[in-house]
Amino acid sequence: MKFKGLTLIGLSLLLCSSSIIDEETRYESKPPYRSFILENYTEESARHYFDTAPIDNWEGIWLMTETGERVAIERFKDIRFSEIFTHRIVKLESTVREEIPMGTVIGYLSIGVNANTCFVWLYKRKFTGAILYKPERFSARLTPDLNGILFSGNKSKKLEDLFDPRSGFVKLYPKQNSGDSENREIRYL
């Protein structure tokens, strides 16, 4: 019993100290070890952003094909992150994994090697409740019609993993015609 108590105290100190480190660290090549929650994030606010901002091909509301979970992929800027991290993946309201609240950042996109490719970092493990940790990097590309994300060359799912890297995402909103792709490219003046 004494050992269990010491273990719990040690574990809580580890989590508290890692949150202090997370807040003071700059993420150059890897995202934070643990996920975090965006307060007051809703699908309505995400749709408003997608309707009013000049979005790129990666941005929108997507369906994770393996689980049926809905996520928003959006560009973001944060001084704690290197410029290689261009987008974040945020969980939307869903009956899938209800213990993980809406607004939880479940992953990031970082710059890929070629056009319409990127690296997707997904938090693949769950500690307790809503705490996701240990992001892993996967190669991904947009489908030719720009309404899907396919993962390539990734290992199979392990039992403890939350997401299967062999599955993909299907774009739900806004749908895009492949001939309309030049209208979705971000142009900097």
pLDDT tens, residue by residue, 105-164: 999 999 998 989 999 999 988 877 678 998 989 899 999 999 999 988 666 666 567 777
Give pLDDT tens digits for 51-76. Answer: 999 999 999 999 998 888 899 999 99
Q: What is the pLDDT of residue 156?
A: 63
Mean pLDDT of the chain: 81
pTM: 0.79
- Which pLDDT band, with edges at 50, 70 and 90, does 24 fall under? low
- Exposure b/e, 21-33, CB count within 10 A at least 16 = b: eeeeeebeeebbb
**Locus of tokens 């799912």:** 157
Phi, psi of 167 (to 5 degrees): -85, 180
Q: What is the pLDDT of residue 16?
A: 43
Among 8-12, 39-43, 55-59, 82-86, the least confident range? 8-12
More confident residue, 21 or 43: 43
Is residue 184 scored above 60 in pLDDT?
no
Strand partners, 72: 61, 90
